[in-house]
Amino acid sequence: LFLQVNNGGSYTNALSINNDTKATFASNVTTGGSILVNNLGSDKKIAFRRTGGNNFSIEHDASSLYFYNESTSTSCLRIANNSNATFGGTIDSGSITSTGVITTSTTFKSLNGSMLFFVPNVGEAMSIESNTGNVLINHTAGVSETKLYVEGSAMPETGDAASVEDMLTLYRYGSASVW
């Protein structure tokens, strides 16, 4: 079945419906309301194809809605029925704000500058300085209320009698080392 429109003297297919009831539109589809995707036997609901790029789909199973990279067979983003979200790769962001507890199964990593930790009603509570790894707790540059400044060096080789170094130095703001 074809629905054709007059395109300046010639007819052009605008909609084709084949024997298995699949419809193909020749151009954009615009709706004034919702698009409903009913329960199908498979997960795939909406597919995106791009010449020279990966094929993606938006899918839904009994437990979640997810964005799926069909070319690499990986789930990029999964939103579970309980609203928890799982990302399949790296999250590139300027900053992320959390209103709850952040749990990680691996590591935190700072690519540029010191790693800073903030506490409500306190501000910066701790930092790990870039390039040195020194830990500053409740430290603000130029302010004398620093609670603890920890500086250390790499551990000497085990059994290396010639390598005797300070392993941990504690500072009080504005003074030489305390210990």
List, for residues 89-114, the tens digit of each pLDDT value: 887 777 777 777 777 777 777 777 88
Report which residue type is found at 118.
Answer: F
Question: E strands, the chain, where?
Answer: 2-6, 11-17, 23-25, 44-48, 56-60, 64-69, 74-80, 85-87, 115-119, 123-128, 135-137, 148-151, 169-171
Q: Report the pLDDT averaged over residues 27-31.
A: 84
Tens of pLDDT, residues 119-137: 788 777 888 888 877 777 7
Three-state secondary structure call for residue 170: strand
